[in-house]
C-alpha cells in the first residue's frame, strides 16, 4: 500500500481519547453557505428518459475495471476534502467522551476515507458495489493494522447494497452517513432512494455528509450533454469512457431528496483531482444533521 502523501499531523482531544488528525480538516479553500431547508421527501418515481442513465450493473462493471487496472493508485490514500469536512464537524461536535461514533462510508472504494476516519478513532462500515474495491479496502485495512501504529477506531467492509447492510444490523442506527463522489453516478430514482435509505438509518443528531460532481464540472472539451438531458446528464466524448455518465448534482436536487429531514444544512464547493495526476473535478459537498 502506498504511503499517504504529504500529511500534516495535529493532535485533537475528544474526551479521554487522543485522536490524531491527518491533515487539517477544512484546510481546503471551501466556500460555505447556509441554505434554508427544502421540501419533505418526495416519493421516488421513475423519471422520463431514465433509460439514458447508467444502470447499477454497468456502473459496477465500470468501477470494477478501474480498480482492476489501477488499484490503490487511483487516488492514493490522502483523505478527500469531503472526509475532512465531516471529520471537522464530528470532532467539533459535542459528543460524549466515551461514545463510539459509527460512520457509514457508502461507495467507499478501496477505503482511503474510511481509513482516515479509523485513524481518527471512528468506527467505519464501508460499503461498495465493487467486489474488487472491497477486497482492496480490506487489504489496506489489514496492512494498516499490521503497521504497528495503534488504531483507535475499527472498520468492516461490505460488497453490496446499503439496504442489505442496514438490514443485517437489526435496526441499529449510525452517527454519520458519508459518501464521496458517488451520487452523480446514479439515476434520479436511485439517487432519491439512496438518500432516503441513508437518512432513515441515521440516529438523532447524526451527520449526513455527501459530495458529488456539480454542473461547474461540465467540460465541453471532453464531455457532451445527453440528448434531452441538457444541463443535467453528460457523457464523455471518448468512447473508452462509455458507461461513465455524470448526472450532475445541485443544491436543489439534494434538498429535494433530503428535505426537512435535515437541519443546519450547508453547502461547500471544492475541487479534487479525478485521479492522481489528472485535472481537478468540481464537487458540491452537503453537510447536515438529523
Ligand atoms: C468515484 S468512486 C469514489 C470512491 C471513494 N468514495 C473515494 O472517494 O475514494 C465511486 C465509487 O462508488 C461505487 N458505487 C457506485 N454505485 C454504487 C452503489 N449503488 N452502491 C455502492 N457503491 C457504489 C463505485 O464502485 C466506486 O467505488
**CATH code assigned at 136:** 3.40.50.150
Query: For residue 44, is it within any domain?
Result: no
Query: For residue 47, is it within any domain?
Result: no
DSSP, res 156: E
β pairing state of 155-159 and 123-128 = parallel
DSSP, res 55: P
Ligand 1 close to Cβ of residue 108 (< 6 A): yes
pLDDT score at 57: 81
The tally of domains found in the chain comes to 1
DSSP, res 259: G
Query: For residue 23, is it within any domain?
Result: yes
Closest ligand 1 atom, residue 112 Cα: 9
Domain that holds residue 184: 3-39+52-289
pLDDT score at 88: 96
The whole model's pTM is what?
Answer: 0.83
Closest ligand 1 atom, residue 190 Cα: 19
pLDDT score at 111: 98
- pLDDT tens readout for residues 17-41: 333 333 333 333 233 333 333 333 3
Query: For residue 103, is it within any domain?
Result: yes
pLDDT score at 195: 96
Query: What's the gap in Å between 98 CA and the centre of ligand 1?
Result: 31
- What are the two backbone dihedrals, phi and then psi, of residue 39, each rounded to the nearest 5 degrees? -80, 165
Q: Tell which one of 65, 109, 111, 113 to mutate to probe ligand 1, the residue whose CB is within 8 A of the most ligand atoms.
A: 109
Query: For residue 14, is it within any domain?
Result: yes
Q: Are 250 and 213 in contact (CB under 8 A)?
A: no
Amino acid at each position: 500500500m502506498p504511503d499517504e502523501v504529504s500529511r500534516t499531523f495535529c493532535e485533537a482531544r475528544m474526551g479521554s481519547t487522543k485522536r490524531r488528525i491527518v491533515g487539517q480538516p477544512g484546510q481546503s479553500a471551501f466556500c460555505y453557505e447556509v441554505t434554508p431547508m427544502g421540501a419533505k421527501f418526495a416519493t421516488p418515481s421513475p423519471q422520463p428518459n431514465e433509460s439514458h442513465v447508467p444502470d447499477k450493473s454497468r456502473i459496477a462493471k465500470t468501477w470494477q475495471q478501474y480498480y482492476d487496472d489501477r488499484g490503490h493508485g487511483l487516488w492514493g490514500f490522502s483523505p478527500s476534502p469531503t472526509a475532512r469536512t465531516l471529520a471537522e464537524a464530528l470532532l467539533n461536535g459535542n459528543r460524549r467522551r466515551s461514545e463510539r461514533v459509527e460512520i457509514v462510508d457508502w461507495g467507499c472504494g478501496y477505503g482511503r476515507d474510511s481509513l482516515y476516519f479509523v485513524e481518527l478513532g471512528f468506527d467505519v462500515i464501508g460499503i461498495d458495489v465493487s467486489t474488487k474495491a472491497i477486497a482492496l479496502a480490506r487489504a489496506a485495512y489489514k496492512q494498516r493494522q499490521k503497521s504497528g501504529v495503534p488504531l483507535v477506531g475499527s472498520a468492516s467492509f461490505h460488497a453490496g447494497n446499503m439496504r442489505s447492510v442496514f438490514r443485517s444490523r437489526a435496526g441499529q442506527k449510525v452517527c454519520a452517513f458519508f459518501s464521496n463522489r458517488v451520487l452523480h453516478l446514479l439515476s434520479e430514482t436511485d439517487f432519491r432512494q439512496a438518500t432516503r435509505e441513508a437518512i432513515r438509518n441515521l440516529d438523532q443528531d447524526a451527520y449526513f455528509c455527501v459530495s458529488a460532481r456539480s454542473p461547474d464540472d461540465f467540460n465541453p472539451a471532453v464531455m457532451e450533454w445527453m440528448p434531452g438531458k441538457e444541463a443535467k446528464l453528460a457523457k464523455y466524448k471518448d468512447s473508452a469512457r462509455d458507461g461513465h455518465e455524470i448526472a450532475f448534482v445541485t443544491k436543489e436536487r439534494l434538498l429535494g431528496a433530503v428535505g426537512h429531514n435535515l437541519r443546519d444544512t450547508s453547502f461547500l464547493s471544492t475541487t479534487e483531482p479525478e485521479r492522481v495526476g489528472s485535472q481537478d473535478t468540481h464537487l458540491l459537498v452537503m453537510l447536515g444533521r438529523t
